[in-house]
Chain A
Amino acid sequence: MILGPGAFLRVGLLLLVAVILQLSVVGQIGVLGSYADLTPLAVAAVAFYGGSIAGSAAGFAAGLLLDLATGATMGASSLVLTAVGYGVGRFREVRDPSHGLMPIAVGAFATAGWVTAYAAVSFMLDVGATVSPLVIRDAAVTVMLGALLALPVFILSRKLLAPALAFDPRELRRRRGAPSEPGPLGLRGLEV
């Protein structure tokens, strides 16, 4: 990702919209007793297209904004979302997945990581809290909803972030095109 005022603005706008939508709309739509969560999806989308540094920065910022807006323990969401953003970014950097449906898997894993790690952090901070087994069911539903919402969120995020990206992984794959015909020696790249 090209670091510049435009990138900051776009990432900031994306995260702000994600948090506000999460708090005012998505968080109020109950599905099967649980709720979808846009925040980890937005962070995962930034990390997927921008890399681990952008991802961890976006995670920290989104977590901070979320904690400020909700009045939750400050730092908890930032810590978890930083890890989520970094993890997704590193996955992109190391594996460079090319499948068009990869955002679904990434979104599901990001949501699962967010839900699990946030629950663990909350549990560690709130000593003596009792946890109902229903949390597991709700977490599973949230992960499922995250997987469903991942594709549209990633597509919209990519459109918003496109001008700030150093390279668009999808565009790069498109430019690579189909493998060329092998040369007379039967080796690709040695065409005569």
Chain B
Amino acid sequence: MFDQKTIRRRRAVLGVFVGLSVALLTAYFGESGGGVLHALQRGTQEALAPIETGASRALKPVRDLFGWFGDSIDAKKDNDKLRREVESLRSELAQAQTAKHDNRQLRGLVGLRREASFPRGTDPVGARVIARSPTVWYTSVKIDKGRADGIRIHQPVIAAGGLAGKVTRVTGGTAEVTLITDSQSAVSAQVMPNGANGIVKPEVGNPNDLLLDFVEKGMRVRKGTTVVTSGFSSDRVRSIFPRGIPIGRVTKVDLDEVELYQRVHLKPFADVRRLDFVQVLTRRPPTQQNASTGQVVAP
């Protein structure tokens, strides 16, 4: 097909170019950065730079067009990836926030029980809120502890901060807690430190406002003072709430000249809208327990 001359020429050309390439490689590695070949490279780069720049600018739209396609594909991929990442992070964030929230409530519960005025010997049983009243009246919640855990009707329930309500229904494993914001709720209370007595009632629909009613006019109640359960007890009736459980802080005092009693507004310490953990006080404090025999339960 090819004569010997052509074959020889072809092989010779290949040999020459391969030899030149190897020689270039050897020389390039052998010389310093300021050698001839390096200088030639720098010169070529400088010479080609304007052409490359011009070509780059002239063909920028083409590059941008392809880049747009590439970016769109990459963006779609990135979008999917980031979406998955967001979902994962959102889940982690939700878990972290839940843990933080739970932690704050549990700390609040522990802190409340450490207060000097808090009644001792109440055998609190911790419970998790498993259901809430679906209405906007903040009437009741259901907890995951019941009769089997020592929960009984009329036992007081505290949450982080202060009094939350009382147990009104019990099953084997759950209990219903009627909150202090329920319209039927009434708690005998005392303003500290002056000792003015009254009854705490809800302002229905507003879980941030309770009313301390029946406070005698002669006892001046000041804004910012604390209201606690009075643990009222007499020969015939006694309060179901032991003395000393914080209820709220006085926010406003209505001094009506016509009315016999003052109307004191207070903000409850327990946030009934965000109850997740509560404690049921399953025993009355020893000093109050003795007085309970044969008595009628009162708020």
Interface residue ranges, A against B (CB under 8 Å): 20-21, 23-25, 28-32, 52-53, 56-57, 59-60, 63-65, 67-69, 71, 73-76, 78-79, 82-83, 86, 93, 125
Contacts and interface: CB of A to CB of B under 8 A. Distances in A.
Contacts of B2: 93
A51 to B, nearest CB: 8
B25 A76 contact: yes
Contact of B63 (A25, A32, A64): A25
Given A57-B17, A74-B28, A69 B45 contact: yes
B24 A75 contact: yes
Contacts of B51: 20
Contacts of A23: 48, 52
Nearest to A121: B25
Interface stretch (B54-62, B90-98, B216-224, B289-297): B54-62
A108 to B, nearest CB: 20
Given A20-B55, A28-B63, A78 B70 contact: no
A74 B37 contact: yes
B130 interface: no
A57 B25 contact: no
A79 B70 contact: no
Nearest to B66: A29
Interface in B15-36: 17-18, 20-29
Interface stretch (B6-14, B167-175, B199-207, B240-248): B6-14
Contact of B24 (A29, A30, A57, A74): A74
A25 B55 contact: yes
Contacts, number: 97
Contact of B55 (A21, A29, A59): A21
7 contacts: A20-B52, A24-B53, A28-B63, A69-B44, A73-B25, A82-B18, A86-B14
Contacts of A28: 56, 63
Contacts of B45: 68-69, 71
Chain B residues touching A, majority SS: helix
B41 interface: yes
Task: Report, as a range, how many residues of chain B touch the other chain.
Answer: 35 or more
Contacts of A63: 21
Contacts of A29: 63, 66-67, 70
Chain A residues touching B, majority SS: helix
Contact of A56 (B14, B23, B48, B66): B14
A42 B164 CA distance: 83
Nearest to A63: B21
A174 B32 CA distance: 55
B40 interface: yes
A75 B14 contact: no
Contact of A52 (B14, B41, B55): B14
B48 A20 contact: yes
- Indicate the member of B26, B27, B37 with the most A CB atoms within 10 Å: B37
A71 B41 CA distance: 6
A125 B67 CA distance: 33
Contact of B48 (A53, A69, A86, A125): A69
A78 B62 contact: no
Interface in B92-149: none
Contacts of B66: 29, 31
Given A52-B14, A53-B9, A79-B21, A73 B28 contact: yes
B111 to A, nearest CB: 55
Given A28-B56, A56-B14, A73-B25, 7 more contacts: A24-B56, A30-B70, A78-B17, A78-B24, A79-B18, A79-B21, A86-B14
